[in-house]
Structure 1
Amino acid sequence: MHWRKLRHISPGSLKERSDRRFDAIAAEFLRKSAPDSRMGRHFGDLARVRHIITYSLSPFEQRAFANYFSKGIPNVWRRFTSSVFRVAPPMVAMYLTYTWGNQVHEQGKRKDPKQFENDE
């Protein structure tokens, strides 16, 4: 809707003012009634950060799966094999300790049959 069409809903005092003044008031009205200004600031514009330059590439220029099979899968395998020998031994040791502790706990909860030989 063009702002000049708002003239019929403006108060009578606006009709008496010059067109230039009405143009400024109508432009201010449209600026304030825009959806962006009514609801506050958008999430990405909550704070103004100065002296930091960011660069980004348009999503239309990106290739999501570029070199996925030729470089991606070998890279995952290389990273896995380089760290598995640092991560796996402590995890195996902790698992064995945990299962041993549970086994000892279950054995400790058992009743001794010798204590109940003379019961009726």
Structure 2
Amino acid sequence: MGGHLDPKNGVYLGWWGDLGSAPQRITTYSMSPNRQRPLAGTAHAAVFNVFRRFRHQVLYVAPPFIAAYAIMNWAIEKNEYVNSKPGRAEAGDEE
């Protein structure tokens, strides 16, 4: 078991499976299935967490969406007017 010092390669610990170290101890922990509650409090936490995250992010997300909606609505109305009979008459286009 006791390894000897090899000046070129270091310490020889032994052959494979007998490396001279202390034996490994494997510890297993378990819990009774009646004591486990994997979803305890998830519904309550999810509702309040979603509300909290929404409250903190709404001022970053809502203004760009409102601005984009207003610009898109203006562009659609302008396009419909330009392509209508009064819009073409105002622009002077004749078919």
- TM-score, normalization by structure 1: 0.39
Q: Which has the higher contact order (CA 8 A, sep 6+)?
A: 1
Answer 1 or 2: which has greater helix percent: 1
Answer 1 or 2: which has greater strand percent: 2
